[in-house]
Amino acid sequence: MKRRSDGRASSIVFNLRHRELQHRSRPYGRHSSACTPTWNSSTMNPSQHVELDAKRPLLQTLRSHRQDVYMSHGDTYEHQIPPFHVAFSEKRMHGTLLAVADEEGWVSLFATHDRKPRMLPPHHQACDHERPVSKFSAHQNAIFDLIWCSDDAHIATASGDQHLSVWDVETSAKLCHFEGHTMSVKCVRQMPGNPNVFASGSRDGNVFFWDTRHPYRAAGSSTSTLVQTFRPVESCLRCHDFYSPSSTSTDRRKKRRTSIPNAQRSVTCVEFTGDGHELISSGAVDGMVKFWDLRTLTSDNLKLTRSFSCLNPNGRRYGISSLTLDHTKTKLLVSAASNDIFLYDLLRFASTDPVATYHGHKNSSFYGTLTSYLISTLKSGFSPDSNFIVSGSVDQNVYIWDVRADGGGAPAAVLRGHEGEVSSVAWCKADFSKIASCSDDGTVRVWHMGRDQDADAAEGEASSCGRG
């Protein structure tokens, strides 16, 4: 843990402790029994059964029409750019504004409000698809993560150009520039209750913390520049290192642990817990999910409070591609390259075992021969009520599971229509009937429930898989 002496990190810790004192009368997280989530149908009341049983058949009505297909383009619209990430707004345009980040560093904003299906000619081209309401070139390399922040006034991006940025949604102006990572930045999150603090994870194996109250100014730089530059106020270095025994020594007592290259220590995801007291991180190679106590930011070592491991019985490590907290911040969804999605109850502090495991999709994209590990880049998430799980898949489909299925199991529905790996998905928080997905086929699809099932208008549809 790298320690700062300029007081910038202490401001983060002060805010954490101040908020903890303010809310001491209202216990949160693992210390609160009142927030315990329901995990199976036996603990639900009859009204909850009726509501959820009514929603499940709606999954089979999900359709993606031709007008619901969006594409990313450069400034000339001459070629498609593979989209990498999709995210619905929280409030802007009633929560239906869809942000799309792509391989060439563009951010496009699409209005996905409901429109009646219309007939398009079979030979329709890219120019026939809805154009974005706004788009801007954000980075000189692929954007791997994008989040809405500050009540949808801003968008934060993490890129392969080793930088992060914050953008004004109205003007597309760059407000903040974060520098310090030495390899691709894979993820970014904003601290709950403190819009000034961000955390990022990178392929360099490091987690950095940023505070927009403390801009960095190089010698001779102008203080009037509109774009402020920031450097990390704190860092957790090499937090997902993995070591393997050296194969060069025959004496077991003298075997040395050999660290793998930086590129394979990648931090794939970060998430703040609901109270902001802990940061959750995951690794591409070590197969670990780790919880860090942010109240120890000013100490020599950031305290590791607990961890989960994604290993099979033979010891093979499965990279983790996605971490998602549900709306109560008490359930953690972990997508692993083992083709499994694990659900953890964060209120069970003493347990490191998942309460449910979901399968049926394919999540292993790459294989590392050095240490026998599998890694992936696919994302998963919850429905707005956290009763359903959605995930992309290597096999070109979108999968949906019912959380009520005790112990997990097979998907409840599969959305078919993409012609390439589905890398990112988003369930609209403002509209349960709307899901977005993006694929290597160069398209973004929006899926609607209860739409006209005219085969001439629909290019993608759901199929049932039953309960697992």
Whether 2 is in a domain gets the answer no
pLDDT of residue 47: 44
Confidence check: pLDDT of 199 > 90: yes
Q: Which domain holds residue 73?
A: 8-464
22-31, 74-83, 333-342, 404-413: which has the highest mean pLDDT?
333-342
Checking if the pLDDT of 253 tops 60, the result is: no
Q: What is this structure's pTM?
A: 0.84
Note the pLDDT of residue 255.
40
Rounded to the nearest integer, the mean pLDDT of the chain is 82
SS3 of residue 21 by DSSP: helix
Least confident of 8-17, 87-96, 185-194, 210-219: 8-17
DSSP 139-185: -SS-EEEEEEETTTTEEEEEETTS-EEEEETTT--EEEEE---SS-E
pLDDT tens digits, 319-369: 899 999 999 999 999 999 999 999 999 999 888 899 999 999 998 765 554
Min mean pLDDT across 68-72, 269-273, 455-459 is at 455-459
Is the pLDDT score of 143 beyond 50? yes
Position 224 pLDDT exceeds 60: no
**Is the pLDDT score of 41 beyond 90?**
no
Q: State the pLDDT at residue 438.
A: 98
Q: Residue 17: in which H helix or E strand, if any?
A: helix 8-22
88 has pLDDT over 60: yes
User: Does residue 3 lie in a domain region?
Assistant: no
Q: What is the tally of structural domains in the chain? A: 1
Pairing of strands 228-230, 174-178: parallel
Please, what is the end-to-end C-alpha distance for the chain in angstroms? 44
- Which pLDDT tens digit goes with each residue over 433-467? 999 999 999 999 999 998 665 544 567 788 765 44
pLDDT given at position 15: 67
* Spatial CA neighbour of 145 closest among 172, 166, 130: 166
Which of 151-165, 359-373, 398-412: highest mean pLDDT? 151-165
1 within some domain? no
* Segment of 240-244, 348-352, 413-417 carrying the highest mean pLDDT: 413-417
Both structure tokens of 423: 């890398």
Between CA 386 and CA 454 the distance in angstroms is 30
Tell me the torsion sign for CA atoms 358, 345, 380, 58.
positive
Radius of gyration of the chain (CA): 22
Contact 336, 310 (CB under 8 A): yes
Partners of residue 202 on adjacent β-strands: 185
- Work out the pLDDT band at 38, boundaries 50, 70, 90: very low
Secondary structure in 3-state letters for 317-351: EECEEEEEECCCCCEEEEEECCCEEEEEECCCCCC
| DSSP states along 26-87 | S--GGG-STTPPP-SGGGS-HHHHHHHHHHGGGGGG-EEEGGGEEEEE-TT-SSEE-EEEEE
pLDDT of residue 116: 58
Q: Which is higher by pLDDT, 3 or 337?
A: 337
Report the CATH number that the domain containing residue 109 is assigned in CATH.
Answer: 2.130.10.10
